[in-house]
Amino acid sequence: MSEIRETTTIDEVEVAPSAPLISLGELLAGIGFLAYHGTRLAVKGTCLAGSLAYKGGRALASEIASARAGRLAVSGIAPLVSSSDNAREALRALATTNGFEIPKAESERLKARIESLVSTNDKLGITSLATELIRSRQERLKTSLLTLTAEACGEIGFSGQALRVEHGVLVAKSADGRRTITVAVDKTKEGDVKLHFDADGFHGGA
C-alpha cells in the first residue's frame, strides 16, 4: 500500500562546494562583448549556483525556486537566437537570460569558440553552444541532488547506500535491511531535473 504525504516544512540545506562557476555575461565581458557591471545587474539571478559553489553557502528554497522560474528552457533557445539580428546579438540576449553558468576552468576554451562563432556569424552554432551549456548545468544539478539525497538518507540512519550517478539512482537501506529508499533523478527534455521517490518496508506511518 502506498502513502502520499506532504510537508510545509522547508529547511535550509548546506550546498557542497563544487568547481567555481561564472556566468555567460561575465565570460562575454571578459572578451569585450558586454559591459561587465551592466551585464552583472541584468543577470542577477544567473549565478545562484555559481555563488553557492564559490561560498559553499546556505541555499533557501525560495531562492532556488526563484532561480528556476527565470531559467531559459531548451525549447526557448532557438526562438531567442533566430529573433536576433546576428550571432553577437544572440549572445547578448542569452547573457541576460538566467541559467547559463560555465565552469571557470572551461572559460578559455569557450572564449575561443565564442569568438569564432561571432566572427563567422554562426547563429546555429550559438544555438548549439547554448544547448550544451544547459545540458551541462543539468548534469551538474543531477549529481548535486544525488549527493545531497545520499547525505539526507545517512542522517536518518539509512546506510549501505548504492549511489550510481551515471544512472541517476540512489538506493539506501536501513541498518536492519528491512526498509529501502530508492530515489531516481531524471533529466527532463527542457533541461531541468525531477525526482522519483519509492520506499519499501515501511508500515504504520513509519
Q: How many helices (H) and strands (E) does the chain have?
A: 8, 8
The average pLDDT across 115-126 equals 96
Tell me: pLDDT of 91 over 90. Answer: yes
| Residue 116 confidence (pLDDT) | 95
The average pLDDT across 14-30 equals 76
| Residue 49 confidence (pLDDT) | 41
The average pLDDT across 92-108 equals 88
pLDDT higher at 54 or 66: 66
Span 158-167, pLDDT tens digits:
876 777 767 8
Angstrom distances, CA of residue 173 to CA of 125, 133, 143, 145: 46, 35, 20, 18
| Residue 124 confidence (pLDDT) | 97
How far apart are the C-alpha atoms of 2 and 198, rounded to whole Å? 9
| Residue 78 confidence (pLDDT) | 96
Q: Are 45 and 67 in contact (CB under 8 A)?
A: yes
Q: What Rg do the C-alpha atoms of the chain give, in angstroms?
A: 20
How far apart are the C-alpha atoms of 97 and 85, rounded to whole Å? 17
| Residue 108 confidence (pLDDT) | 92
The confidence band for 21, taking pLDDT boundaries of 50, 70 and 90, is confident
| Residue 76 confidence (pLDDT) | 93
Span 143-200, pLDDT tens digits:
888 888 888 888 888 876 777 767 888 899 998 888 999 989 889 999 988 888 888 9
| Residue 61 confidence (pLDDT) | 44
| Residue 60 confidence (pLDDT) | 39
pTM over 0.85: no
Beta bridge partners of 183: 170, 197
How far apart are the C-alpha atoms of 201 and 109, rounded to whole Å? 50
| Residue 38 confidence (pLDDT) | 43
Tell me: pLDDT of 121 over 90. Answer: yes
The confidence band for 34, taking pLDDT boundaries of 50, 70 and 90, is low
How far apart are the C-alpha atoms of 42 and 37, rounded to whole Å? 9
pLDDT above 90: percentage of residues in the chain: 30
Polymer length in residues for the chain: 206
Instruction: Compute the mean pLDDT over every residue in the chain, rounded to the nearest whole number.
Output: 77
Q: Where are the beta strands (DSSP E) in the chain?
A: 13-14, 21-23, 58-59, 101-103, 158-164, 169-174, 180-187, 193-200
